[in-house]
């Protein structure tokens, strides 16, 4: 499967949110919105209420870095989300959270922080649609890429070569190819797109890099 660059929108400013949505409408078919509550992570972002009323043409998902992810599932469903991705570290009952998302007809992703072992995810293979491997500790825009997560991805890919996975955090031109060759499906990119002078040009360039690197992958 061809890897996909997924622009990741993370902001605490409602005006900036509208600007970023307007920018990405022009080039991205699929986008991730990041939401933070100030509890699961120290930072606070815009909420589903800020997203309401903004015209959105692209398909999108909500990445919830929050302590009670299921509380906002219905709101995101009503706003048009295709998928909700929550953190395994945020709940003692991932199965219950998955069930609540499924009841609303949502796809489900399960995210894991850099220090969470692959073994924690394995019971949920077949229960969720994707795993999101965090390549930073979440909550801070522009955080440093944690290269050790590549080992986790390789470990998982040995056992599950076709299961859908994504990565998120600290992704730049210099590491996109590494991730694509590792067999990642969705590569979520924030500042390397939105903090550049031409977000569209950066998006297309990163997509080309990922596609070329994936061709070099040895299965």
99-147 confidence digits (pLDDT tens):
999 999 999 999 999 999 999 999 999 999 999 999 999 876 667 899 9
pTM tops 0.75: yes
Phi, psi of 92 (to 5 degrees): -90, -10
Burial level of 28, CB count in 10 A (0-12/13-18/19+)?
buried
Domains of the chain and any CATH numbers: 4-215 (3.20.20.70)
**Who's near 13: CB < 8 A, 6+ residues apart?**
46
Give the separation between CA 210 and CA 208, rounded to whole angstroms: 5
Phi, psi of 133 (to 5 degrees): -85, 115
Residue 14, pLDDT above cutoff 80: yes
Residue 206, pLDDT above cutoff 70: yes
pLDDT at residue number 110: 98
The radius of gyration of the chain from alpha carbons, rounded to an integer in Å, stands at 16
Give the separation between CA 3 and CA 209, rounded to whole angstroms: 10
pLDDT, tens digit, for every residue of 17-48? 999 999 999 999 999 999 999 999 999 999 99
Residue 1, pLDDT above cutoff 80: no
**Given the residues 13, 34, 48, 115, the one annotated as active site:** 34
**Given the residues 37, 129, 168, 186, the one annotated as active site:** 168
Residue 182, pLDDT above cutoff 70: yes
pLDDT, tens digit, for every residue of 137-181? 987 666 789 999 999 999 999 999 999 999 999 999 999 999 999
83 to 142, 179, 216: CA distances (angstroms): 24, 22, 30
- In the residue annotation, 34 being an active-site residue is answered as yes
pLDDT at residue number 119: 97
> Mean pLDDT, to the nearest integer, of 52-68?
96
> Mean pLDDT, to the nearest integer, of 62-78?
97
Residue located via tokens 């699929």: 30
Q: DSSP E strands: which ranges in 67-184?
A: 83-87, 107-112, 130-134, 165-168
- In the residue annotation, 129 being an active-site residue is answered as no
Tokens read off for 88: 């395994």
pLDDT bracket for residue 214 (50, 70, 90): very high
């Amino acid at each position: 499967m061809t890897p996909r660059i997924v622009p990741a929108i993370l902001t605490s400013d409602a005006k900036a949110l509208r600007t970023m949505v307007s920018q990405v409408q022009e080039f991205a078919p699929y986008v991730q919105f990041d939401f933070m509550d100030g509890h699961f992570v120290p930072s606070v972002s815009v909420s589903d209420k800020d997203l309401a009323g903004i015209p959105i043409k692209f398909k999108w998902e909500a990445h919830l870095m929050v302590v009670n992810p299921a509380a906002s599932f219905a709101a995101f469903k009503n706003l048009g989300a295709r998928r909700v991705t929550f953190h395994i570290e945020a709940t003692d009952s991932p199965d219950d959270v998955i069930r609540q998302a499924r009841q609303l007809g949502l796809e489900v992703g399960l995210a894991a922080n850099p220090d969470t072992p692959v073994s924690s995810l394995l019971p949920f293979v077949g229960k969720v649609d994707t795993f999101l491997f965090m390549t930073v500790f979440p909550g801070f825009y522009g955080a440093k890429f944690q290269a050790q997560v590549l080992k986790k991805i390789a470990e998982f890919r040995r056992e599950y070569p076709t299961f859908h996975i994504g990565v998120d955090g600290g992704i730049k031109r210099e590491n996109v190819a590494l991730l694509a060759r590792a067999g990642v499906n969705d590569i979520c990119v924030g500042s390397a797109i939105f903090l550049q002078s031409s977000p569209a040009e950066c998006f297309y360039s990163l997509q080309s890099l990922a596609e070329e690197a994936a061709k070099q992958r040895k299965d």
